[in-house]
């Protein structure tokens, strides 16, 4: 993985239409930051009606946390099963397109245009109607986010 991929962050917003096969292209800038992956993981967000796209390296961080816990912990085993059941491994084609399953598209209300939002360590797929317009800045939300992050 390049130094850029290790230190880069996923930022910005791209509104793209799903193609007729319901595929979505991950912008080349983001693919570079993610280390030009062959695969990414998709999972519904735990609190919001969006789908998270997580790189292989970020998933390795999550798996590292799981490995620190007891291997035969029944609650952890059930949690891992639930996470696995609600995740999918997506291959990127040569043009950087992915096909998120219909169940996740339905969960997030994604059809037609999808707002792809860089969330520093992952990509969030939103129904554009759920967000402020692309050409607007929500200063109140930005202030709250920066405060929460300790800036």
Contact 37, 92 (CB under 8 A): yes
Please tell me the CATH code under which domain 3-148 is placed. Answer: 3.40.1550.20
Question: What's the whole-model pTM score?
Answer: 0.85
CA dist., res. 119 & res. 125, Å (int):
10
pLDDT value of residue 66: 75
Coil, strand or helix at 75: helix
Spans of all domains in the chain: 3-148
Contact 115, 18 (CB under 8 A): no
pLDDT tens, position by position, for the chain (151 residues)?
A: 333 344 579 999 999 999 999 999 999 999 999 999 999 999 999 999 999 999 988 888 877 777 777 667 778 888 888 888 999 999 999 999 999 999 999 999 999 999 999 999 999 999 999 987 777 787 888 888 889 888 8
Say how many C-beta atoms besides its own lie within 10 A of residue 98's C-beta.
Answer: 20
CA dist., res. 49 & res. 31, Å (int):
24
CA dist., res. 5 & res. 77, Å (int):
32
Q: How far is CA 98 from the centre of its chain?
A: 12
């Amino acid at each position: 993985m390049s130094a850029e991929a290790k230190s880069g962050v996923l930022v910005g917003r791209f509104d793209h239409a799903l193609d007729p096969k319901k595929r979505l292209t991950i912008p080349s800038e983001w693919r570079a930051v993610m280390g030009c992956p062959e695969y990414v993981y998709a999972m519904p967000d735990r609190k919001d009606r969006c789908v998270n796209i997580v790189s292989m390296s970020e998933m390795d961080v999550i798996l590292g946390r799981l490995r620190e816990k007891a291997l035969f912990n029944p609650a952890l085993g059930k949690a891992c099963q639930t996470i696995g059941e609600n995740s999918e491994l997506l291959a990127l084609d040569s043009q950087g397109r992915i096909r998120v399953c219909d169940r996740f598209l339905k969960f997030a209300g994604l059809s037609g245009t999808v707002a792809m939002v860089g969330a520093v360590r992952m990509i969030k797929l939103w129904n554009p109607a759920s967000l402020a317009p692309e050409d607007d800045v929500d200063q109140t939300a930005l202030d709250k986010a920066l405060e929460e992050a300790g800036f």
